[in-house]
Chain A
Amino acid sequence: GDSVTQMEGPVTLSEEAFLTINCTYTATGYPSLFWYVQYPGEGLQLLLKATKADDKGSNKGFEATYRKETTSFHLEKGSVQVSDSAVYFCALSRNYGGSQGNLIFGKGTKLSVKP
């Protein structure tokens, strides 16, 4: 079945460091790919998305490119801030005639940014 694998955490970085969180997926067809972020005590927020191969999603300085040849959707940010400390989830969904199927999530990667 469909699945998402993302790098184990926690990841600890200093402020202004470069961030990469790896995410690979297994799915038939052409799923849509997402990154969600969860701050302590809160629900999930959509960070960015990509719906087809070679699409680049971007938001708040974060980027991820849908790579079908490597089945990957790695999250990157050039300069992290303390406020980026959170848990990041990679997810996919199958498309059914224009409607979104259920999300399948990776295990999450906890990021801590130190001042």
Chain B
Amino acid sequence: KAGVTQTPRYLIKTRGQQVTLSCSPISGHRSVSWYQQTPGQGLQFLFEYFSETQRNKGNFPGRFSGRQFSNSRSEMNVSTLELGDSALYLCASSATGPTLEQYFGPGTRLTVT
């Protein structure tokens, strides 16, 4: 079974621009979560989508948004980029039911200059 894939793997953007990251979950998984990883703040939860609905949201500004499509693929968007948005963005998928396991993709490394 193919794992979680994220595109692109690396991205360089300029302050003020916007960016869209993509995540394809493991086949059959309906939940997709996004996390931001930085050296200073560590791993922080952004949001979770399940069946195209945002089910849970972390403490991030409204510049961070996401969506999920009917095939469970998810995108996250960051508008008006700031230098502090430079991070590794990780996507994780999980199946329904009490499996309680999230499977992570390799991440997208975003650098804001």
| Most central of B45, B50, B58, B105 by chain A CB within 10 Å | B45
Interface Cβ pair total, 8 Å cutoff: 57
State the interface size on chain B (CB cutoff 8 A): 26
- The interface residues of chain B lying within 8 Å CB-to-CB of A42 are 106-107
How large, as a class, is the contact surface on chain A? Answer: 20 to 34
- The interface residues of chain A lying within 8 Å CB-to-CB of B107 are 42-43
- Please report the C-alpha to C-alpha distance between residue A108 and residue B109 in the assembled complex, in whole angstroms: 19
**Main SS of the interface on chain A?**
strand
B104 touches A44 (CB 8 A): yes
**Cβ-defined partner of A46 (8 Å) among B98, B101, B105:** B101
Which residues of A from 5 to 47 have beta carbons under 8 Å from B?
A: 32, 36, 41-46
User: Of all chain A residues, which has the CB nearest B41?
Assistant: A107
A88: CB under 8 A from chain B? no
A73: CB under 8 A from chain B? no
Over the window 20-37 of chain B, the binary record of Cβ atoms lying under 8 Å from chain A Cβ atoms (1 yes, 0 no) is: 000000000001010100
B102: CB under 8 A from chain A? yes
Interface residues of B (CB under 8 A from A): 4, 31, 33, 35, 42-43, 45, 48, 50, 56, 58, 90, 92, 94, 96-107
